[in-house]
Chain A
């Protein structure tokens, strides 16, 4: 059983979203996603200041197997990419919800966060995939 924190929001494309309480969101991929991808060997994070739409591909995670796009869960502006992933991409494997975060976003509409999945709904998505 993969780890699924109850205080995060999720997407059908296996991103997690954390509200930081300062108008920013932190985004990464779920424990389930990193396990399915296998050992992660390269991450391309988005540049600061980039404007993204909801569901826009804005980062790439490459495992030993394949490359996967990471989508922005909401529209907004990228304010930080996790630069440490350049040297330690495997942080996504070892710590998907902490050191393995991928980028921070200032959403144009914080209210849209409520449209994302909660842990139970995401769990359902994962179970339907299996």
Chain B
């Protein structure tokens, strides 16, 4: 049996199919994964993401510590409440985890890391943080609920605390606001507008029920995965890991190379790989032949294997199969993917596939 979030009994009550994920028992879906996916693209959906771990970093050395720990630069967070996506690298440039960091106040930050890697991440942070005046505090006392979709913020507003509602409703994208132990970020993992809400664990069930009763669709990990894939967002452990870094997983945009004197973990390894001829590309694929793209299928060019799919599946919005793939440099136009031993045609595209309910790629076969 896995760990249970404070919303476990809500999932049972709603008839969720519960599956092990990152050490937790989590809802895969509540009936139809595709309907859940469409709800987020069209109206609003609700996710229990309490398995993810908030970690507070505070103290006079907090900013210096995070500028050393993370490949993106928290010095870019000039306003309290601003958020930043970053990789946390090892010294060989591989990814320990990807995360979101929120600036809360000078000397106070909050990081949110993945469930399956949380213990490893915190051990790594403590190891790296030894020389800095910064406290590292995992927040096991908080639950986290994501409300995502074009109607998400409006639907969530009535259930936010009175002292937070106005500031939450006026947040710019990728900003957060907080009061007492409630923390609301206009962030997400779906390619839609919405909130991620951290709150005391004992308040989570009441918020969840209010949103469900208000007609917001509960969504499981299945829809979360197809939504993030359509949005072209990476999944740690599939698209990148400790052996494959950001330059080969489409995350170069998250690396802050300037200022050059900032000495962050993994910097030297990234500089070595940056101009290396063997550096692989990270691309999107749209299947034009029949079948479904899946992780680990081989990508072929002229019959020769040149890479592999890292995440693949069926896109409910496009009603086509899509994938992210790591391939030899210079792949363009069309290629083939080996599905059950047979080559099937695919087109190379630039992710994202879908944002804000709309396709970002053309579906006509080239």
Chain B, residue nearest A69 (CB): B340
Give 1 or 0 for each of A53-74: 1 = CB within 8 Å of chain B CB: 0000000101011110000000
Which of B28-36, B243-251, B257-265 has 4 or more CB atoms under 8 Å from chain A? B28-36
Q: How far is the CA of A59 from the CA of B166 in the complex (A)?
A: 55
Pick the interface stretch among A20-28, A39-47, A100-108, A110-118.
A39-47
Within 8 A of A (CB), among B265-320: 290-292, 294, 313-314
Q: Which residues of A contact B291 (CB under 8 A)?
A: 42, 44, 62
Which of A38, A44, A60 interacts with B33 by CB under 8 Å?
A38
Q: In whole angstroms, how far apart are the Cα atoms of A56 and B93 in the complex?
A: 46
Q: CB-CB < 8 A to A41: which residues of B?
A: 34, 292, 314
Q: Are B294 and A64 in contact (CB under 8 A)?
A: no
Q: Which of B1-42 contact A (CB under 8 A)?
A: 17, 28-29, 32-34
Please indicate the chain A residues that have their CB under 8 angstroms from the CB of B33 in the complex: 38-39, 64
| Inter-chain contacts of B314 with A (CB < 8 A) | 41-42, 62, 64
- Is B290 within 8 A of A64, CB to CB? no
How far apart are the CA atoms of A66 and B29 in the complex, in Å?
14
Q: What count of chain A residues pass the 8 Å CB interface test?
A: 11
Complex: chain B residue closest to A39, CB-CB: B34
Q: Is B80 engaged at the interface, CB distance under 8 Å to the other chain?
A: no
Is B237 in the interface zone, CB < 8 Å from A?
no
Inter-chain contact B294/A38, CB cutoff 8 Å? no
Nearest A-chain residue to B36, judged by Cβ: A39
The answer to whether A39 and B292 touch (CB under 8 A), given A60-B340, A64-B226, is: no
A13 to chain B, nearest CB (A): 17
Interface SS of chain B? mixed
- B292 and A67 contact, CB distance less than 8 A: yes
Name the B residues within 8 Å of A62 (CB-CB): 291-292, 314
Chain B residues with CB under 8 Å of A65's CB are 28, 222
Neighbouring B residues of A44 by C-beta, 8 Å: 290-291
Query: Do the beta carbons of A64 and B222 come within 8 Å of each other?
Result: yes
The 0/1 profile, CB within 8 Å of B marked 1, for residues 63-106 of chain A is 01111000000000000000000000000000000000000000
In the complex the two chains form, what is the Cα distance from A101 to B283 in whole Å? 37
Q: Once bound together, how far apart are the Cα atoms of A65 and B292, in whole Å?
A: 10
CA distance A62 to B314 in the complex (A): 9
Give the interface SS of chain A, mostly helix, strand, loop or mixed. Answer: strand
Q: Is the CB of B340 within 8 A of A64?
A: no
Query: Considering the chains assembled together, what is the distance between the CA atoms of A66 and B17 in angstroms?
Result: 16
B-contacting residues, A8-38, CB 8 Å: 38
Contact indicator A39/B32 (Cβ below 8 Å) = yes
Contact residues in B for A60 (Cβ distance below 8 Å): 340
Q: With both chains docked as a complex, state the minimum distance between the C-beta of B89 and any C-beta of chain A, in angstroms.
A: 31
Contact A67 B34 (CB under 8 A): no
With A64-B226, A64-B314, A65-B222 as given contacts, are A38 and B290 in contact (CB-CB < 8 Å)? Answer: no
Residue from the set B290, B314, B321 with the largest chain A CB neighbour count within 10 Å: B314
Question: How close is B290's CB to chain A, nearest CB, in angstroms?
Answer: 7
Of chain B, the residue at the smallest CB distance from A86 is B290
Q: Which residue of A lies closest to B17 (CB)?
A: A38
User: Cβ of A42: which chain B residues have Cβ within 8 Å of it?
Assistant: 290-292, 314, 321
Taken together as a complex, chains A and B put the C-alpha atoms of A67 and B344 apart, in Å, by 16
When chains A and B are docked, how far (Å) is the Cα of A72 from the Cα of B314?
A: 26
Min CB distance B15 to A, Å, is 11
- B17 cross-chain contacts in A, Cβ below 8 A: 38
When chains A and B are docked, how far (Å) is the Cα of A114 from the Cα of B33? 38
CB distance from B106 to the nearest CB of A (A): 45
Q: Which residues of A lie under 8 Å from residue B32 when comparing CB positions?
A: 38-39
Seed contacts A41-B34, A64-B314, A67-B340; 4 additional CB < 8 Å A-B pairs: A38-B29, A42-B290, A42-B314, A62-B314
Q: 11 A–B contact pairs at CB < 8 A?
A: A38-B17, A38-B32, A41-B292, A42-B290, A42-B292, A42-B321, A60-B340, A65-B222, A66-B294, A67-B292, A67-B294
- Shortest beta-carbon contacts, A-B, top 4: A41-B314, A62-B292, A39-B34, A64-B33
